[in-house]
Amino acid sequence: MAAPDHARRAALGLILGVLEDRLTLAEQINTDALDGLSPAERARAQRLAASTLRNLERADRMLKSFLRKRPTPDIHVLLRMATVELCEDDAPAHGVVNAAVTLVRSAGKKTESFAGLVNAVLRKVSEDRARWQTLPVPELPGWLRGRLMSAYGKAAVQKMEIAHHDGAPIDFSCKSDADDWAARLGAELLPTGSLRMKTRVQVTDLEGYEAGEWWVQDAAAALAAKALNPQPGERILDLCAAPGGKTLQLAAAGAQVTALDISEGRMARVQENLARTGLAAETVVADALHWDPEAPFDAILMDAPCSATGTIRRHPDLPFVKDAQGIKPLFALQAALLERALGWLKPGGRLVYCTCSLLPEEGEAQIRMALGHHPDLTIAPINAAGIEDHWRTPEGGLRLRPDYWPERGGMDGFYIARIDR
């Protein structure tokens, strides 16, 4: 019997963790889910899992014709994953079917009896794979789709769903010389100054990674630090800082940065990124609701804890692990953190509030509420390079969406607003 494919087996475990245990891919990857795999196998397992979750609804439509009843969860997930490989990735049928059958037989007596079913079903899927292109793009879960349709309308939500299905390219922020690094890496220099890779790459193998000349950061996320317009020597707080992309931007601008995050594990990533890039910042692990600085700050960047609904195109597991009930408590937390942060701001200082959320309750509504409570605050226009007029919101912030820049590969959903005291 052929040896099972370790990457496929790991991907199967990741998908089951999302669907059965409601664990995000990141939560699993940060534990021991991929231990023992080579870097290439780890990357392939993550790609397989993400692609399967992104296309789960379409896989189920394909399989419905060939399954009289749903098999056990692990066999069902294996069939869905193999269907996505056959239909979305257009992988050779022989390799995919044989690999799936080998996985079934290698898993023990409980599953080996399904080998014949897996073989027969996947061969039928392969013969019918032309139908894949006629299937609709998967919809967002009802609790989220309804909220977004109320905010943006049906046509906009359908465009976002297409963007989610298309996935996300890899964007970089550079310490300096973005034009030079775009040429050296063969990347596109975006209007906002971020770099975007046009092909799938192994990031750690690229020139400049080990030397810390750049870091991975979505173009939408990078706009938040640019909106703050950090100046050399300013004391700036990066609130809820992990994984540290914005901390690096602020430090690269010459600011004296304090990076604060509640998670010790996530702050370790910030420290690793600082070490790799040779940039400096004070790192603090603390709960911002109970922490106080020694002195007020010139500027504060607050990337508030949120639903992360703006990042679904790169995190397709989120719709399966989040729900409306888990999101509502975030609204009160965001308001409380913003209130505390405003108290740490010098007179004449500025604060940028941002969330990687598509929900107005986590963005526009929070800023309107803060302005209503504090008559000494004003919202300042954001005039960083590359900003398009239709991103601007009535209260003066920026609303970024995954369906923007479709010809370039989209961007994460973000809300960004700058408040001046």
| pLDDT digits 0-9 by tens, 84-119 | 999 999 999 999 999 999 999 987 777 788 999 999
pLDDT digits (tens, 9 = 90+) for 41-83: 998 999 999 999 999 999 999 999 999 888 999 999 999 999 9
Q: How confident is the model at residue 4 (pLDDT cuts 50, 70, 90)?
A: low
> Is residue 81 within 8 Å of residue 52, measured between CB atoms?
yes
- To which CATH superfamily is domain 221-420 assigned? Vaccinia Virus protein VP39 (3.40.50.150)
Residues with a catalytic annotation lie at: 356
Fold classification of 6-134 (topology level): N-utilizing Substance Protein B Homolog; Chain A (1.10.940)
Which pTM does this prediction carry? 0.93
- 380 by Cβ neighbours in 10 Å (0-12 / 13-18 / 19+) ranks as middle
Q: Is 243 left (phi over 0), alpha (psi -120 to 50) or beta?
A: alpha
Domain ranges of the chain: 6-134, 221-420
Q: What's the confidence (pLDDT) of residue 170?
A: 95
Instruction: Report how far residue 316's alpha carbon sits from residue 307's, in angstroms, rounded to the nearest whole number.
Output: 13
pLDDT tens readout for residues 143-159: 999 999 999 999 999 99
Please check the confidence at residue 1 and state whether its pLDDT lies above 50: no
- pLDDT averaged over every residue in the chain: 94
Average pLDDT rounded to a whole number, residues 186-205: 93
Distances (CA, A) of 211 to 5, 43, 205, 231: 34, 22, 11, 24
Q: What is the pLDDT of residues 203-260, one digit of tens each?
A: 989 999 999 999 999 999 999 999 999 999 999 999 999 999 999 999 999 999 999 9
- Helix orientation angle between 93-106 and 73-87, rounded to the nearest 10 degrees: 170
Instruction: Kindly report, residue by residue over 310-366, the tens digit of the pLDDT.
Output: 999 999 999 999 988 888 899 999 999 999 999 999 999 999 999 999 999 999 999
**Mean pLDDT across the stretch 17-36?**
90
Residue 216 DSSP SS3:
strand
Mean per-residue pLDDT, 182-195: 97
- Please write the tens of the pLDDT for every residue from 356-407: 999 999 999 999 999 999 999 999 999 999 999 999 999 999 999 999 999 9
pLDDT attached to residue 40: 86
Contact between residue 419 and residue 408 where contact means Cβ atoms under 8 Å apart: no
One-letter amino acid at 66 equals: F
Query: What pLDDT shows up at residue 3?
Result: 57
Question: Is 50 exceeded by the pLDDT of residue 306?
Answer: yes
pLDDT at 288: 97
